[in-house]
Amino acid sequence: MPRFVRMYPRPRAAALTLAAALGLGGLATAGGALAADARTLPVTPQQRSLAQTTAARGIPEAELAPGAPDVYTVKTGDTLWSISGLYLRSPWRWPELWGMNLQDVRNPHLIYPGQRLTLDRQGGFARLRGGAAEEPPTVIVSPATRYETLKASAIPAIPPHLIEPFLAEPLIVDATTLDAAPHLLATSTERVMMSRGDRIYARSNTGAPPLLDDPGEPRLFRIFRNAVPLKDPETQRILAYEAQFLGRARLVRGEHESIDDGSGRKPEQIAATLEVTQSKEEIRAGDRLLPDPSRTFMSYVPHVSPEPIRGRIVSVYGSAVVNAAQNQIVVINRGTSDGVELGNVFGLFKDGGRLVDKTDPARPNVRLPDERNGLMMVFRPFENVSYALVLQIRDGVRVGDRFGPPQVD
């Protein structure tokens, strides 16, 4: 039987991709590469100018973290955030260190395990140069040829296991969508609880479009319950509804009218039939359906919003959680309509306290300055709210805490 060889892309191609995308040092055409990439990046002229400037000059050495290594080899398990912290006092300035300002989702900055990063210091400024990753070994496998793209092995921005459920499962809906969502009736065996493999019946709400199996209509659905309103801590306005994800179902047959049997009876509306394909928790009558959107694999790097965005923490994920710690998820009251983007880094702040100045005979009540409590990064923005991962924290994050542009301690 013939043997087949697992094929790997040449690391040299990856180095060229990285150099072209990031405008690394040593390229006489760095500015040209940036200009070409800028056509596909959602950047303003001011941001593009900053990217071109930092590509040519780098950032001040004073912005480097103490002990920033001159040479570092990327390891499996590294993230863009961890490497940023290795090199920078302000990890969110990573795009500037590379010579780029923002991250285009469809054209990500690709850095790979085994890649050698060299810190170039010249004239009081610094920037990184990226070398090729080490040649991976050739592995003999059978019975088919397999291909693994180098892009698939690029290191993530943050630890993926912390946010993967939120990339696939969060159900943020508005009131109109919630009211129109079809609901489950029962199973084919009339059990109250439903699980994977069960046939279930569902119907649309009065006045809402029916569940149809016509070409172009959704066939895959998410099942959810208990849509909780997310209120703005500042205005008390309901920004959206966060629903509990229960599982997924596939539409087998849409709603339809009964066939006229000649009896003269009025045709009846027959419920839709679905099959449960995934069950995270028990599913029961009354649960709701929403079309399951296609999965989008997002890649991004930490960066600060070009315009200052400030707001409040709306909720801490997990019903029993009061204070969010490091690596936990919070919801904020700003979204894409406010300019929030994937990868935005914000500072978490606590209001400064007050004390009596006992050294002054008048004993004035003095307010202390606000203190940065930590950092978070947005990984899933919606229209009016966003999910963010707490990256660093001193004290717990509570509902109502403020966030805004990060500042250096």
What's the distance, Cα to Cα, between the start and end of the chain in Å? 64
Cα(139)–Cα(404) distance, integer angstroms: 49
So what's the pLDDT on residue 150?
A: 42
Close Cβ partners of 297 (under 8 Å, ≥ 6 residues apart): none
Cα(299)–Cα(344) distance, integer angstroms: 13
Domain positions in the chain are 4-130, 171-291, 311-404
So what's the pLDDT on residue 160?
A: 73
Q: What DSSP assignment string belongs to 80-130?
A: HHHHHHHHBSSGGGHHHHHT----BTTB-----TTPEEEEEEETTEEEEEE
So what's the pLDDT on residue 144?
A: 45
So what's the pLDDT on residue 106?
A: 30
27-78 pLDDT, tens digit per residue, is 222 333 323 333 333 444 555 565 566 656 778 888 899 999 999 998 888 8
Grouped pLDDT means (10 residues each) for the chain, 409 residues: 37 29 27 32 52 69 90 87 86 68 38 83 82 51 45 65 66 84 81 79 88 90 89 94 90 86 77 91 88 69 86 80 81 96 91 85 87 90 93 89 82
Identify the DSSP state of 57: H
Report how far apart, in Å, the C-alpha atoms of 19 and of each of 16, 128, 293, 312 are: 5, 11, 34, 38
So what's the pLDDT on residue 12?
A: 32
Exposed, middle or buried, 408 (CB in 10 Å: 0-12/13-18/19+)?
exposed
Q: Which of 390, 305, 290, 298 is nearest to 348 (CA)?
A: 390
Q: Which of 223, 213, 214 is nearest to 243 (CA)?
A: 223
* Torsion angle of C-alpha atoms 247, 248, 251, 256, degrees rounded to 10: 40
3-state secondary structure (DSSP) of residue 50: helix
Query: How much is the pTM?
Result: 0.67
Cα(233)–Cα(311) distance, integer angstroms: 9
301: number of Cβ within 10 Å: 22
CATH number of the domain at 311-404, please? Answer: 2.40.10.410
So what's the pLDDT on residue 271?
A: 92
Q: What DSSP assignment string belongs to 270-302?
A: EPEEEEEEEESS-EETT-EEEE-PPP-------
